[in-house]
Amino acid sequence: MTRSRPPARLVAGAALIAGCWPAYWLVRGGLSQELFFPLWLGYILTVDGLVEVRTGSSPLTRDRRAFLTLFLLSAPFWWIYEGINQWVRNWEYVTYGGGEQHGPVLWHLVATLSFSTVLPALCVTAELLRSLPALGRPRRGARLPLSAAAPVVLMLVGAASLAALALWPRVTYPLVWPALFLILDSGNRLAGRPSLLSDAHRGRWDTILVLALAGLGCGLVWELWNARAGTGWVYDVPGLNDAPHLFAMPLPGYLGYVPFAWSAYAYYQAARALVVAAGRLPGRLAGAARGPSAGP
């Protein structure tokens, strides 16, 4: 689609990034935490605008109300991981330098606003990747054999993983990232909702690949912007603290962003079925496969 000028939100998003990124790194104290949301809102608007430039439409233009619903769904999604982190203690939030610090109530309110950007960021990133010729076409391959009982077994494995995280967190902490996916995606398959297990069973690997790359891409930007933030997070990953790092994250830790993105998709599909009264959600997260079980 040929445009005489870029979408206004692309320009606004780029302006937000240009203004908030330096401030996010320079400001100290609680104000730095408050800059996370506008910085990531800038990312979301910029990438959504790029998707429209490339394809003629975008998640926001297709259904604005539905896309905004992703912000509401996103915060509880990440708070689940914050709850699991109370067992494993793999990351904690720190504030550097002077300045006024937020009290517990304000900190949690600002954190919730920040967490609301996770699903929209993954969504627009995956849609941008889907717009690339190499990733935009259906990608078929070997079919994953799945018995009728397999989703039940995988759900039990996911539940057992959560139990193991609670009992032996310093040993089982890598299970943080696949556990939720196993539970939610298996449940989606059992309920007849779109699921990545169903895609793999049909030999459809394009959505799985795009989501994995979107998770890695967003993860890289999360870690980049966190690297010098006045308020950010640090890691304690048993066995990996002395491994090579890229920013604050040990390099092997980036692999966790792959099942994390798959979990986001599974959560989205489950939530979509539960909030019909709140309005239609986007038919596709990450340009989801348009197969029989993954249409809008």
Residue 150 vs residues 163, 189, 294: alpha-carbon distances, Å: 20, 10, 20
Confidence at residue 99, expressed as pLDDT on a 0 to 100 scale: 65
Question: Residue 289: its pLDDT value, please?
Answer: 35
Beta pairing partners, 92: 234
For residues 210 and 129, give the distance between their C-alpha atoms in angstroms, rounded to a whole number: 7
Q: Distance of CA 244 to CAs 30, 220, 251, Å?
A: 30, 15, 6
Q: Which residues contact 46 (CB under 8 A, 6 or more apart)?
A: 9, 10, 13, 14, 17
Q: What is the pLDDT of residues 74-121, one digit of tens each?
A: 999 999 999 999 999 999 999 887 666 788 999 999 999 999 999 999
| Per-residue confidence (pLDDT) for residue 65, from 0 to 100 | 84
| Residue-wise pLDDT tens digits, 16-37 | 999 999 999 999 888 899 999 9
Stretches where the chain sits below pLDDT 70 are: 1-4, 98-100, 276-296
Q: Does an H or E element contain 233, and which?
A: strand 231-235
Q: Are 95 and 30 in contact (CB under 8 A)?
A: yes
Amino acid, res. 202: R
pTM of the full structure: 0.91
